[in-house]
Amino acid sequence: MRAQDEFEAWSRWKVTDPSRSRIALCSMALFAFITFLVLGWRSELSEKVFGSGSVSFVGKRPSSTLNSANYDWDTLSAFKPVRQDIEGKSTRDLCKAFPQHLLHEIQPVLKTGHGVLETRLRPQLQSVSACLDTLIIISDVDEEFEGRQLIDIIAELPQGFRDNNKLLKAYGYFLQKALADNGTLGTVDPANAGVQGWKLDKFKFLPQVSRAWQLQPEKRWYFFYEADTYVVWDNIFRLLSNFNPDVPLYFGSPSPGHDSWMANGGPDYILSREAVRRLVRDDFGADGAFLGSKLSERWENHVTRNCCGDSVLGWALHEDAKTLLDGLFPMFNPHPLNGIPFSDAYWCQPILSELSRF
Ligand SMILES: *[C@@H]1O[C@H](CO)[C@@H](O)[C@H](O)[C@H]1NC(C)=O
């Protein structure tokens, strides 16, 4: 199934007059694309990045609607400088151009797992996420990696949910935790020991929302992505500067989920603070104390039964937060970079993120 056949409606963010002196988004997308090619080649990731992949959907076309709109904006880059010669520059040098002040408003939350630290997380932290000092990293083991703290988010599931869950046991979560707790995790290959890390993924979607709010409440935007996502930060910042975070908003690449459109968890998705407020409304006591992820508790049965965490999150947003997905497709793109079809639907729209498959 090709994604452009599936989606009749998507939000289009058009550029009408690229000749203006402001930097046109279209050319920025092209610039970012070329930069990516260059960076991909430089870091010798290209073979992996351009490897083929397929897109899968979890359900039928949902009955609920998908928000759709055309946006016709001129925006300015917050990067200083916008372009620079990258030859011979260190990551630290390059990051001087990154608009750190915008991270006071936008909270990046990266979801990963112990099983892909070397193959995915390391290249992600050395490239796309290298400039993000405020990054929250969600994982399935508490550990330090590349000088950053990884959070075992499954440990934070409500106790009744976590301890009695047959799937968590079957997928090896408790075994992995025991190895981590007695200091032997580094000496064994968890996969050989029977840990199926990728299957733990669906359990992380809801508690990571609670945790992000607990650690960094009231940010204007929460940006969720994965270790194999390529993100064009400049275009993300420009997009968000046009929206009000105090209305419930949910942006991402639309896929049919559990009777509602959901954002495909592969590329990335963004929640406004009002959407998150509604999701975590029971997570905090009157005095502000964190009571645990009541959000996860409410949706425990769905998380256990449904194949996919992004689907449950989409449904929770629909039900708990009365928030519909804004299907910003193709800007949030489920296609791996080498698979983006060439057509009017794709070309000259800003690239926001890609499932890059490091
Ligand atoms: C660490 O925990 C694992 C899993 O429970 C166990 O098989 C192993 O013997 C333990 N190793 C040590 C040194 O305690």
Least confident stretch, 79-88, 122-131, 167-176, 255-264: 255-264
- Say whether both 293 and 178 belong to one domain: yes
- Say whether both 66 and 207 belong to one domain: no
> What per-residue confidence (pLDDT) applies to 254?
80
Question: Distance between CA atoms of 222 and 44, rounded to whole angstroms?
Answer: 31
Q: How many whole angstroms from 145 Cα to the centroid of ligand 1?
A: 22
Q: 25 versus 166: which is more confidently predicted?
A: 166
- Say whether both 221 and 334 belong to one domain: yes
Nearest residue (by CA) to ligand 1, atom 12, is: 182
- Say whether both 121 and 238 belong to one domain: yes
Report the residue among 175, 176, 179 best suited for mutation to probe ligand 1: largest number of ligand atoms under 8 A from its CB.
Answer: 179
For the segment 118-123, the average pLDDT, to the nearest whole number, is 96
**Among residues 13, 43, 74, which one ends one of the domains?**
74
- Encode pLDDT of 295-346 as tens digits: 999 999 999 999 999 999 999 999 999 998 887 766 776 665 556 666 666 6
> What per-residue confidence (pLDDT) applies to 191?
84
> What per-residue confidence (pLDDT) applies to 263?
86
Instruction: Give the chain's domain count.
Output: 2
Closest residue by Cα to residue 31 from 345, 313, 350, 344: 350
Q: How confident is the model at residue 268 (pLDDT cuts 50, 70, 90)?
A: confident
Q: How many whole angstroms from 155 Cα to the centroid of ligand 1?
A: 19
Q: How many whole angstroms from 182 Cα to the centroid of ligand 1?
A: 6
**Ligand 1 nearest-atom number relative to CA 175:** 4
- Say whether both 34 and 120 belong to one domain: no
Question: Distance between CA atoms of 222 and 320, rounded to whole angstroms?
Answer: 17
Domain that includes residue 45, residue range: 1-74
Question: Distance between CA atoms of 218 and 220, rounded to whole angstroms?
Answer: 6
- Say whether both 52 and 133 belong to one domain: no
**CATH number, position 208:** 3.90.550
Q: Is 182 in the pocket of ligand 1 (CB under 6 A)?
A: yes
Report the residue among 173, 182, 185 best suited for mutation to probe ligand 1: largest number of ligand atoms under 8 A from its CB.
Answer: 182
Burial class (CB in 10 A: 0-12, 13-18, 19+), 249: buried
- Say whether both 27 and 164 belong to one domain: no
Least confident stretch, 44-53, 149-158, 230-239: 44-53
Q: How many whole angstroms from 158 Cα to the centroid of ligand 1?
A: 25
- The sign of the dihedral angle between the CA atoms of 172, 174, 176, 178 is negative
Q: How many whole angstroms from 314 Cα to the centroid of ligand 1?
A: 39
Q: 345 versus 282: which is more confidently predicted?
A: 282
- Say whether both 303 and 158 belong to one domain: yes
Question: Distance between CA atoms of 249 and 221, rounded to whole angstroms?
Answer: 9
Q: Is 153 in the pocket of ligand 1 (CB under 6 A)?
A: no
Q: Is 69 in the pocket of ligand 1 (CB under 6 A)?
A: no
Q: Is 181 in the pocket of ligand 1 (CB under 6 A)?
A: no
- Say whether both 112 and 24 belong to one domain: no
Q: Is 348 left (phi over 0), alpha (psi -120 to 50) or beta?
A: left
Tokens at 349, concatenated: 């729209």
- Say whether both 95 and 4 belong to one domain: no
Percentage of residues in the chain having pLDDT higher than 90: 59
Q: Is 184 in the pocket of ligand 1 (CB under 6 A)?
A: yes
Q: How many whole angstroms from 257 Cα to the centroid of ligand 1?
A: 40
Q: Is 119 in the pocket of ligand 1 (CB under 6 A)?
A: no
Write the DSSP symbol of residue 199: G
Q: Is 195 in the pocket of ligand 1 (CB under 6 A)?
A: no
Tokens at 21, concatenated: 């002196």
Q: How many whole angstroms from 349 Cα to the centroid of ligand 1?
A: 53
- Say whether both 276 and 164 belong to one domain: yes
Q: How many whole angstroms from 178 Cα to the centroid of ligand 1?
A: 7
Nearest residue (by CA) to ligand 1, atom 8, is: 179
- Say whether both 64 and 122 belong to one domain: no
Burial class (CB in 10 A: 0-12, 13-18, 19+), 206: buried
Q: Is 179 in the pocket of ligand 1 (CB under 6 A)?
A: yes
Q: How many whole angstroms from 161 Cα to the centroid of ligand 1?
A: 25
- For residue 326, which phi and psi values (nearest 5 degrees)? -90, 110
